[in-house]
Structure formats: C-alpha cells, structure tokens
Structure 1
Amino acid sequence: MPDDGFDATVGARVLIVEDEAVVALDVRHRLMRLGYVVAGIVDSGEEAVRKVEELEPDLALMDIMLAGAMDGVDAAAIIRERFGTPVVFLTAHSDRATLRRAGEVGPYGYLIKPFEEPELQSALEIALYKSRMERKLAQNERLTAATLQCLGEGLLTTDASGRVCFVNPAAELLLGLAATTILGQPLEAVYRATPGQPGGLAGRELTVLHCPAGRDVPVEQTTSPILDGRGQTIGRVVVFRDVSKRLEAERALRESLANLQCALAETVNALTVTSEKRDPFTAGHQQRVSHLAAALAKRLGLPEAEQEGLRVAGLVHDIGKIHVPTEILAKPEALNAMERGLMRDHSTVGHEILKDIPFPWPVARMVLEHHERLDGSGYPSALGREDTLFASRILALADVVEAMNSHRPYRAAPGREAALAEIRAGRGRLYEPDVVDACLALFLDDDYCF
C-alpha cells in the first residue's frame, strides 16, 4: 500500500469484514465517530481478499468466523502475503487454539467482543502506526539493498558467528565466486588477505587479497564491527576495492615525474654549460654558487624543496651573460660605463630567458633579483628588502662570497677572509642578517670550502 504520510488516526480507510450485519453496522458507526473512513463492509473471507485488492484500504478489521469456506485467519494470511495490508482481528473467540492459529498469520491486533470504543481506537492506532513503520523500514531496506547491489566496491557482511550473510555483485566478481558459494561460509574461508598497512585513500588499509581462484589482487579495505543498541558486536562488514589499476597509474606517474625531473636537470646543465662556454674565466662559478646557496638554505632550516630550488637557481643565475660580448667578459681591466651597463643587464636577460620555463620554484625571479641589495643600492631595479624574495637574498650573498673567492681577468681573488669581512660589514645594510650569520657559521664552524 502507498504511504501517504498521514496521521494514523485521521482519515484512515478501514475495511470491515463481519458476517453479522448488526455488528458490522455498529462497528461502522463507531469507526466514523472516531474519525475513520469505512472503505467497505463484507461478510466472507473470499470477498475480503477481493475488496482489499480493489479498494486498497489502510487496514482490515476482521472477524474470524465468517460466511463462506474461507475464515478470517485464512483470509488474513492471503491479504498479508499478497498486499501487506494490516489486519486486526475482531472476534468473540478467545480460546487458546484460536489465539495460536490467529497469531501464526501475524495480525496487528486482537479485539475480543464485546469491546469499548477506547479499546477499538487504541487497537487501530497501534496497528496503523506499526504498519506505517514497517512500510518505511521495508522501503529503507529496499533502498539500502539496491545501493549495496550497485556499489562498485566489494562488500561482505557477517553475522555474530563470523559467517557471511550478505555479498554484493562486486564482491562476487573480485573473489571469483558466486553468492551461493560465499553465503554461509566463514569469512576467513572466502576472504583471505595479508596483513595490510595504512596508505589507502580516506584512511583505508592497503593489502593483498588472495582470491580462492589463486589470483592475488591489491585492494583497499575497511573492516568495521556491526554493533547492536547495547554496543555488543553482532557482525562485521568488510568493504574492499581493486586498486591494481590505480597503483599501476601511480607507478607510471612516478616514472613520468622522474623522467621530467631528469629532463629538467639536463636542461639546467645545458644552460649552465652554455653560459660558462661564453665566459671561461668564470667556469665553475655557477656550480659553486649553487652549492653554497643550497648549503645556506639547509643551514637556515628551509624545506628540501626550497633548497633544491636555490640549487637550480644558482646553476643558471648568470645565464643572461650570453648576451654580453666575449670581449667584455674577458676584458683584463676595469669596465667603462657602457660596458658596465651591458654587464648589469645580464640579470634581466636571464629572467627573460627563464621566465617561461615551468620550474616548480621561482627560479626566474631569483635570477632577476640576485644583484639587489637590502638598502636598494643593487640592480637592475634598486629593490629593497621588502620587495625581494628571501631565496633571492640567499642567492645574492652566495654569489658575492664565491666571486670574492675566485680570480677574474681584471683582478686576483681577494680570498675567503676578505669575503667574510665584506658580508660582516654589509650585514643588515646590504645582506640579509640571518643569511650572513648562516654563512659565517658554515665557513667558521663547519669548515665549509668550495
């Protein structure tokens, strides 16, 4: 019967099944006074079955002794099985045999004649409420069953003894067994998995399922107890899914990422070699700056990803010098103003070369800013401390220290002590204080050397 969501005591349609006309009329008047609608009156079990099918009442109020070959108990059994309509017995018979036989068909109530209106009302209210709750429960069970049947994940449910009492099609497919073979078996007999480890999606456990057919399948699984209202375990549910395709995709993705990282490293190396071929007097400068910048980042406690970003930026920080004529790069004397202008452009040119390469770090910006200074006296944009990246300030100091430890065509290397004196003097004015302190600690405490 449809569930219209109405209140059980208002407007409910009741079919009266009574072979005594006077009693039937009396019951009809009482029902109408209580607010019920009388859907019809019949006097036999056969007619009751037909009228329930035809009228679809909300409840049948039925006598046990009826006219015809079919009594009320037999009629109630057919009505319940075919239509699910609740039946309340209304009879003068209260002997044990009658009660036992009536109870076997699952009536929703039992009224002994004669009865009072409050008794009738209570019996009908309880019957209608119980019927409505049963219909809702059955509907929820159907929805749940349909959902579980359509799940793409395998699902096994056990009872309190550990035997499988439910299996969905996905579980049948994964296990390679029919439901008829799985149901009633101990869970361990049909679902054998090696002890797993965390690592699946949403906290699931990754494990290997050893299927009865001899196939091993990587799965994600979740196992949960089923508890009753008192918190006692009455079963267990296991949900599992085949993750072999996902694991294969992850492996392929890792390989692809490794290949991309290798290609990136080779690209950076090619850029480094290209730059240093143009300026043989500073060969190795970028590698040494790269190494020092990464060491400073590590000393400062930066994450490994940022350390790697500084290492890469150091390797290409002078790539812009490929636009500077070789004669200027190798000039054995001081540069004039025009030559200095060309040389200073190398930061901007380097940025233009690198800006469209999809590095996972701001390499192009670090290259652009590695000659800026805290007080705005640097180039190419005279940026102050607040306008530059912290990583750029690390790279800038590494560049200065390495340059003062290397020979140039126009001068000999001032040396380590001069370089450390330079950064001490410029601490907080030209160079980032924390980076200066880290650099001093590297050379003086950790015996760092190029």
Structure 2
Amino acid sequence: MKNDLRQHEKEYRNLIENANSIILRIGSTGKILYMNPFGQAFFGFAQEEIIGKNIRGTILPEMESSGRDMSNLMVAISKDPAQYETHDNENLRKDGSRVWVLWTNRAVLDEKGEVAEILCIGTDVTLHKEAEKQDHRSREILEEKVRQRTRELQKVNEDLLFEIVERKIAEEALRESETRYRSIVEDAVEGIFQTTAEGTYTLANNAITRMLGYDSPEEFMSVASNMEELLFADPRQRLAFRNMLKANGRVKGFETQYVKKDGGRVWVCLNVRAVHDDRGNYLFYEGTVEDISSRKTDEVMDGITRALCTAIEVRDPYTAGHQERVTELAVAIAKEMHFTDDHLNAVRIAAMLHDIGKIYVPAEFLSRPGMISENELNILRDHTEAGYGILKGIAFDYPVADIIVQHHERMNGSGYPRGLSGDQILLEARIIGVADVVESMGSHRPYRPSLGIEKALEEIRENRGTLYDATVVDVCLKLFTQQGYRLDT
C-alpha cells in the first residue's frame, strides 16, 4: 500500500508541477518561499535565483506602466487578504519585460490566526490586456468572461495545493496527499481527463461529465471504447486534432464542438499533452477541456451588432463613421465616470446601434443635401422608436433598447420621443446624447458643412444642466480641453 501511495503522490505532484498556472508561496513580508516550474519558466528565473528573494523588485515592479504605485501592495494583501482574493496587476520578468497576471490569493494562518504565508495562483492575461488596447470595442464582452472562467478554475482548493507542495514523504503524508490531489481533480470546474493513444478514456472528472450531460464519470467512460471518436461533431476536426497531437506531442487552445449525451452540441477548448516516463516512453495523454459556449455566443452577438452597424451606414453613407466616433467618445466619457466593464460594454453596444432605427427612414431623407421639411424631420425623429422596436426583444445584459430610444431626450423635457426629463433618462442615454451632439456638430452633414469642434463644445457648455447632463458635459469638456481627445473624422 505504501508503494501505491507513493505512486499516487508522484502522479498528482506531476499534475500540479506541470500545471499551466503560476503557483507561488510568499511570506507575510513578501519573501518568495516557493515557485513552481511553470512560474520559474514564465518569469525567466532559475529556482536558486528566485527562492528567498523579495517579490518586490523581482516579479513585482515598484510602479506599473500606468503609474499605479505597487510598493505597498504586499502590505495591503497581508493586512486584508480577503480584499485581494482575486486581482490583476503588471508583473516583471527577469529580462525586464512586463506582463499582466491575474492572481488568486489565499492566506495561510498560523496557530494564532495571523497571516503566516500567502498562496498565490497566477494566470497570464497579457494577451487580453494587449487585445484591450488594440480593439477596445470588443474587449469588454470577452474580458469578463475570461476573468470569470479563470476565477472559477483558480478557486479549486488552493489550500490543498499549498499542503501538497510542502508534504514530507511519509506514509501518512502520502495518503493525505493522494486524497487531496484526487479531490482537486474531481472537484475542478474545468474538465480534466486522461486517454490512451487510441482515444479511450481512462480518467474523467465530474466537470467533463456534467459538461456533456452524463450522470457520472463511470457512465461517461463505459459508453464506448472509442468515446473520443464519438465526441467530435466534425470528424475532420478530430483528424486535425490527432495529427497535431501526433506531430507535436501536445495541442493547446484547440476549439471544436463536442456532441453531448442528448445529441446537443457544446463548444469546447482542448489543451492536451503526451505524458512519458523517465526513459521517454509514452504512457498516456492528459488534458483539460473548457466549455466556451458563452464566448462563442458573445462572438456571434458581436458579429450581429457589427452587421447591423454596417447596414445603417449603407443606408446613410453621409454619416459613415458617425456610429464609431459616437461610440468611442461615449465609452471614453463612461470610463472617466468609472463605469464597470459590463456597464462600459452596454454603453458601447447602445452607442454602436443608437441609429439602428434609420433603417426604416427613407434613404432619400438621409442623403439629401440641403434642409429637410418639418414633416420629413418628424419622420426622421421616429428612428428612436423604430430602433426600440427592433432591439426590445433581444436579451442584452443591460436595457440597450431603452438607452437607444432615450438618446434624444433632454434634461428639461424638451427632447423626443417621450419628453422625459432629469433622472427619468437613463445615464447611458445621457452620455450617448452628449457624444451624438458633439460628433454631429463636429462632422459634415448632407445639409451643412462641419460646424467645428469648438462650436460643438460651446453648445454643450451653454446648455449644461438644461439640455444635457451637467456631469456628463463636464467630463466631455475635460476630455477635449485637458486630455487632448480628438474626433477621428
């Protein structure tokens, strides 16, 4: 039995030490007590170079590139670990380059109940941060989803990981470690599995069976010896996956559709590698599978939003780019007002679609040079209610349809279509309303040339608190006059 326990310990320790996450133990003063091989490779340090060093000045900079002071971060985490259970910050590599890491922290208390050590599990989110800079219009949808899934994965029994790393090789300790490692695998939110070279499953945790609609791992593995072949919805995808695995010994980030027990389909992301013994002989394949259906749905929704925006601009070619410029300005204002990521995404989507109702306005009204008649103006104003009708049935996380129908309302009740005033108007609609006025006056229209940005800022300044929300106006003026914001016309 002792040999069995040692074998289990070795297998589970190998699973942890080969995890694609940074595992770090630090003392209450910031001294690095342990860093797993993945973390050493990620930051570029050998074990003897990093163990015993203070986290400050090695992997934690004194100040982030954004100017945020990081010198007191460790003190703050030690005093109140619960407040920093999950956070992201900029970190340093040995070569001086900077990366972003999403950390989950768990305090380890001594016998007196005081913080003795802190267990940290980190995931590289640098690519997400770079994507945010390159395309902020799509980042907001994806980022929270990624963070949510990362948080779920990282909450899997961090205290057990700490115990396993430090466990002495003894019979009782081996038994406890084996139990703890099994618990990590079985209770993980992300699917964990092992297969033979032919694709027969020899291990599957509860997460993967729930994901695919089976009652238990035993049922899942007993259905058929060629279960992997049955899982792939597209046989060509399975062939491509197998060829990559055979050629490289590992596959990372492979996205495909699996077939569930009831015949339904689910989008998954696979990470698989071959495991060998000390002599290099193949043993089995092990990997993880993540349900990415929500992200795929978000990508489809984002594509639909962009398609609708394109349709609007085709109908109204003289205002091509208007929606993008209004969106950029509205999101910039909302950021200055400290909106959350989800809230920013609501502003972004509503701003991109704020003129969707123009699809119902005759094209000749939209592109005709010169002034339009009162009757034509009334028809044009109907685009807000038309936009509401188009979008009210879509289950957005925020009331996008209501924001759109209100973006021409004014604080004193003189707007349209419903004559709302003050706090009756959603804050998001007030932001888009100001951005719309500034962009419209600062850009060319079929019936007039651009009035210039100074004229636009004068308009919102003079009607601050009367037509336009005072706080929104102040933030908008600050962007242009103090922060150098410009409309990209």
State the TM-score, normalizing by the size of structure 1: 0.50
Q: Rg larger in 1 or in 2?
A: 1
